[in-house]
Amino acid sequence: MKIEVERLNDAFHMQATNEQGNTIQLDSNPESGGHDLGFRPMQLMLAGIGGCSTIDIVDIMKKQRENLEDIKVTVTAEREKDKTPALFTSIHLHYKLFGDVSQEKAQRAVELSMDKYCSVAKILEKTAEITYDFEVIATQKSV
């Protein structure tokens, strides 16, 4: 795996490019001299745990032959106060699974992802308490 990061301005605006040519913008907040032109690095970590676990859940739901039409996750976190570096102390993920989905199978998919499969969660759990919950939102079947 390889990522290249290049600086785009005379402050902290950067672009990260992966081996496939996909890009993401990074920056810092105005308080530290940035311009909020991209994700902050710690925000990328939260996007990473949200994306990693969502990929797992979609894959598990497919294997369970569940009719998952959509999924959204909200990730919230707290960091250490008045410390440098300021590590995450708590991370919470709230999943919304849309479709004609079994509550039990959804729960199993979320638990498997967070407790067994999500590599990002396994890294972050070393310093942060990770909690999660979910809700199944039934969608109307088209007639």
Q: Which CATH class is domain 41-137?
A: alpha beta
pTM above 0.95, yes or no: no
Nearest-angstrom CA–CA distance, 50 and 93: 7
Using CB atoms within 10 A of its CB, is residue 97 exposed (0-12), middle (13-18) or buried (19+)? Answer: buried
What integer pLDDT is reported at residue 141 of this predicted model? 58
What integer pLDDT is reported at residue 143 of this predicted model? 47
pLDDT in tens, 20-78: 999 999 999 999 999 999 999 999 999 999 999 999 999 999 999 999 999 999 999 99
Q: What is the identity of the amino acid at 68?
A: L
- Segments of the chain assigned to CATH 3.30.300.20: 41-137
Nearest-angstrom CA–CA distance, 101 and 68: 6
Nearest-angstrom CA–CA distance, 93 and 134: 8
Peptide bond into 85 cis (omega under 30): yes
CA angle at 73 for the pair 21 and 98, rounded to the nearest 5°:
110
Nearest-angstrom CA–CA distance, 139 and 34: 42
